[in-house]
Amino acid sequence: MFTWSNKELPYRSTGTTPPLYIPRDLQPKQIRPGEDYFFVQVKAAQAAFTGPIWERVKSLIVTSQVAVNHPVLGTDPLRAIQRSIVVQRNHAEQLGMSPNLIKLIPAVMSNISISIEFILDKENQLSKLGSLINDDSFFAAISLAPGAAMIARTIGGLSQKILQTFFKSEERQPILQFSGDFNISGGLADGYYAILGTRDESHPIPNPLPELKLSDTGLLADGQRITQLSYIVLDMRSVSARTRDLSDGAAWDVKLNQAEAVAMGVFGNPLVGEEERKQAWQACLALLKEAQILLLADPNYLNCESQNIIKAAYANCYTQIFGVESRRNALAAPAGGQITQVDLNAARALLSIPLDEDLGDTLDSYAEQVIEARNIFRAAGSR
């Protein structure tokens, strides 16, 4: 469980609160602009059907709008229809929403905006689409992966048209809008963000707020499960590495695989002579350079990690071909001990690897970032 301290905040007794931060760890970390990646999930979501507003309502439509202000996706929010829920008066319903709102993207934008909205379906207009909605047919997580941005925009446009077709403009206004504008450039903490909401004046949002905790069963107030309020809890996580694992078959990864295959072709082969090693090395360098150009243009990856991925592939090819680890060597030395006359200073210059950089230290540090990222992905069940 994680605690958020009581505070008095400027909000009405009905409506919704601002995002309320709940630390995940005792020492929360900040998402570093230009140095980290982040992803956002829905950790918990509840609709409390208390109050007179629900008396003549048959179902609730839950929609989302996400804007990340990135060139690949633009500045306009992307809408999705998340859930269609049958209203059960005087009951609190867990929404079971798709957890992923924003898949792993670099923290290179100034801010992101997220809104989860409750729209009343008084006439059960979308009942025939209920199974499609709840199977996530009108939802796509925001991503910069190839094709994903187009899918998100297409689904966003389709969701908007569905709402416009079945609901009049005044009916499309949400009864509750759980909104958060998160400032990345000003420093954003990794952790949970809870937003409380109600339209029932007999069950207002308490002020000051009670102690909020997040448990496996949902959101707790002063140790008790919240049943009279609706809420959304967003889980915002950051990592320092996306890892090469998540290349999604990008062209640059194909090039790196080709380079490593060339290097493996001479690895441990005592019949390979010095000239063949030189040729294999030059072939690897050409493929590495092509991969580097493609990788630096991939919006999914930060430049700092792109260079680390290239350095790792460079060092791997070097080791396979020459039988020793690459550090600051100006000449290559194969396992047999004889110096192979290839200019490693020129090779490093080609790939913008500083001549005095100890790749062992650099890649040890990067390996730690990769391990940490994989552990976080595993814990979150996503990427």
Per-residue confidence band for 139, with pLDDT thresholds at 50, 70 and 90: very high
Question: How much is the pLDDT for 10?
Answer: 54
| Percent of the chain residues topping a pLDDT of 70 | 92
Per-residue confidence band for 271, with pLDDT thresholds at 50, 70 and 90: confident
Q: For residue 204, is the peptide bond before it cis, meaning its omega torsion is within 30 degrees of 0?
A: no
Q: Assess contact for 225 and 203: CB atoms under 8 A.
A: no
CA 181 to CA 199: how far, in whole Å?
A: 22
- 341 has pLDDT over 70: no
- 237 has pLDDT over 60: yes
Q: What is the DSSP letter of 77?
A: P
Triad 184, 190, 195: Cα angle to 5°: 85
Q: List CB contacts of 98: < 8 A, sequence separation 6 or more.
A: 42, 82, 136, 139, 141
CA torsion through residues 206, 208, 210, 213, sign: positive
Closest by CA to 47, choosing from 197, 202, 201, 220, is 197
Q: Say whether 134 sits in a helix, a strand or coil.
A: helix
Q: What is the mean predicted confidence (pLDDT) over 251-276?
A: 90
- 189 has pLDDT over 90: yes
- 338 has pLDDT over 60: no
Q: What is the mean predicted confidence (pLDDT) over 203-207?
A: 90
List phi, psi (to 5°) of 201: -65, -20
CA 251 to CA 339: how far, in whole Å?
A: 34
CA 295 to CA 76: how far, in whole Å?
A: 27
Question: How much is the pLDDT for 209?
Answer: 86
Question: How much is the pLDDT for 135?
Answer: 92
Per-residue confidence band for 3, with pLDDT thresholds at 50, 70 and 90: very low
Question: How much is the pLDDT for 73?
Answer: 87
Closest by CA to 319, choosing from 344, 296, 287, is 344
Question: How much is the pLDDT for 325?
Answer: 62
pTM for this entry: 0.89
Give the strand pairing for 15-16 and 100-106: unpaired
Cα diameter, the chain = 86
Closest by CA to 286, choosing from 333, 345, 351, is 351
- 9 has pLDDT over 80: no
Q: How far apart are the first and last CA of the chain?
A: 23
Question: How much is the pLDDT for 235?
Answer: 96
* Burial grade of 310 (CB within 10 A; 0-12, 13-18, 19 or more): buried
Token pair, residue 306, equals 């792109």
**Helix axis angle, 303-322 relative to 274-296, nearest 10°?**
170
- 199 has pLDDT over 90: yes
Q: What is the mean predicted confidence (pLDDT) over 133-137?
A: 92
CA 26 to CA 39: how far, in whole Å?
A: 20
- 295 has pLDDT over 50: yes
Q: What is the mean predicted confidence (pLDDT) over 338-350?
A: 79
Q: Say whether 97 sits in a helix, a strand or coil.
A: coil
Per-residue confidence band for 273, with pLDDT thresholds at 50, 70 and 90: confident
